[in-house]
Amino acid sequence: MGAPKQLLPFGESTIVETVVDNMLGAKFDEVIVVVGHHASDVQEQLGTRPIKTVFNPDYREGMLTSAQTGIRALEASDAFALMLVDQPFITSTLIDQVVDAYQRTEKGIALPSYNYRRGHPVIFDQKYAIDILALTPESDGVRTLFKKYGDDIQYVTVDTDSVLRDIDYREDYERALREMGT
């Protein structure tokens, strides 16, 4: 990208601000932002938003270490969600669809599905925190739980690919800006 993607301009703000603001607008009791690379720049960009930030010293080892850092920072809760910083297309309304489905079901995992593909955010019952914390870098990450506990997943069918879309490459970013009309 040539710059940290989470700090790239997006709409009226940046990618990370858009994601965090969407989370703050959803039915979450607490938003924890795990920072690593360019941590101080990200924290500065997020300003005084009512979030908790935690530093992942192992961020170079991949997303799993960030998920684990965030889980360790959780206050007592019944459930938690995992979201990615490079998915600014996931609105508060989409997040709430998954939260509502999780609250209505007896299942321990809820996630959105678009054209039979799993997306984000993923909501987990607190009982899965131990499983995620026990995963190793050699595992297939959190996806391991989807295989192991497939019968405990509530799929929430959504009518948008926003739950799948992320910004990994310059082309993804440029396409997103074109779609926004900027």
Measured CA to CA, the distance from residue 117 to residue 37 in angstroms comes to 29
Cα–Cα dist 68/75, whole Å: 14
Residue 43: Cβ-neighbour burial (10 angstroms; 0-12, 13-18, 19+) = middle
What is the rounded average pLDDT of the residues 134-158? 93
Structure-token pair, residue 17: 């601000």
- The 8-class DSSP code of residue 38 comes to B
Residue 3 has pLDDT above 80, yes or no: no
Partners of 153 in beta bridges: 109
- pLDDT band of residue 137 (cuts 50, 70, 90) is confident
Q: pTM for the complete prediction?
A: 0.92
Q: Average pLDDT in the 40-55 region?
A: 95
User: What distance in Å separates the CA atoms of residue 167 and residue 110, rounded to the nearest whole number?
Assistant: 23
58-115 pLDDT tens trace: 999 989 999 999 999 998 789 999 999 999 999 999 999 999 999 999 999 999 999 9
169 pLDDT band, cuts 50/70/90, is confident
Greater confidence, 168 or 20? 20
* 109: three-class secondary structure by DSSP: strand
Kindly report each contact of residues 124-127 with a partner whose C-beta sits within 8 Å and lies 24 or more positions away, as own/partner: 124/79, 124/80, 124/81, 124/82, 125/78, 125/79, 126/77, 126/78, 126/79, 126/80
Confidence of residue 1 (pLDDT cuts 50, 70, 90): low
What are the tens digits of pLDDT across the range 8-43? 999 899 999 999 999 999 999 999 999 999 999 999
Q: How far apart are CA 55 and CA 65, in angstroms?
A: 11
pLDDT, position 138: 85
* pLDDT over 70 at 120, yes or no: yes
Q: Is it true that the peptide bond before 9 is cis, omega within 30 degrees of 0? A: no
Q: How far apart are CA 77 and CA 152, in angstroms?
A: 19
Q: Which backbone phi and psi does 154 adopt, to 5 degrees?
A: -100, 110
pLDDT of 140: 86
